Structure 1
């Protein structure tokens, strides 16, 4: 009896196997097309993945997954379609008109204004973190002067500036944050990404 059930299960599995595979092949073309279109539109607007995520209210990881060809929910695609000023169906079916204003954006502010607001929010967060760094490290320097200012090195006492370690580690993270925030390192940004795609295609996007 158990063997018969096993044979029947295997038979059903073999019969049903091509069906999901066919669906996967059917959907893969749409997913791939949606992926290419989202990435192309983003580059044509000159936005980074971070900027597109801020405008659409999505996470950066969601944008990355879509551009890698992974499926997205209907609400996610609608959010992207609204930002790109295209119809929802155009996102996976046909090329949109980049100069079209027929579809309402549904946004209170323009993308430039929203990016400016987002940048100011980042600046505010950075300066808050910088002020916290100055206050905390300053307090730790004072504590270092009174608590274990010297350490025994085996033959004599040497200055023990243990506060240097948290100051350096925390300061390095702030330096990396500042370099990205103030575009100190412009390479690998959206402009560079767009140039590389156009170079590969041999034509402008």
Structure 2
């Protein structure tokens, strides 16, 4: 098991692992990216995870394929995109509630805040469709075709 998997299994962030082990966050990041740790670093990590040093050493020598790294990066990007969408949605709802309150207090006869809700709502829907890949017009296949087209290659 790799350091990242051990860390996530415990539910720790990189910062928490660094603090518990006495290492820097940068060292933890480097090891998770595949850099070989020193014997002292391995000892610190083995103590924190309460596993044998030899077991940790064997696990650390396992190589990570480029495909695994790319798959993990895509998953991380997808989670960040989803987080960004939910953040956008919460901001939308909070601002709209405030606008409707302001609208009601200043001009209760005409609800102009609906226009803001409609315009921004279209943006929210578009963001959601893109993040959750409901309609993936400009997805990886489209990008690949465009790159091939620009390079003058036939598919």
Q: Tell me the TM-score normalised to structure 2 length.
A: 0.47
Q: Rg: which structure is higher?
A: 1
With CA pairs under 8 Å and 6+ residues apart, which has the higher RCO, 1 or 2?
Answer: 1
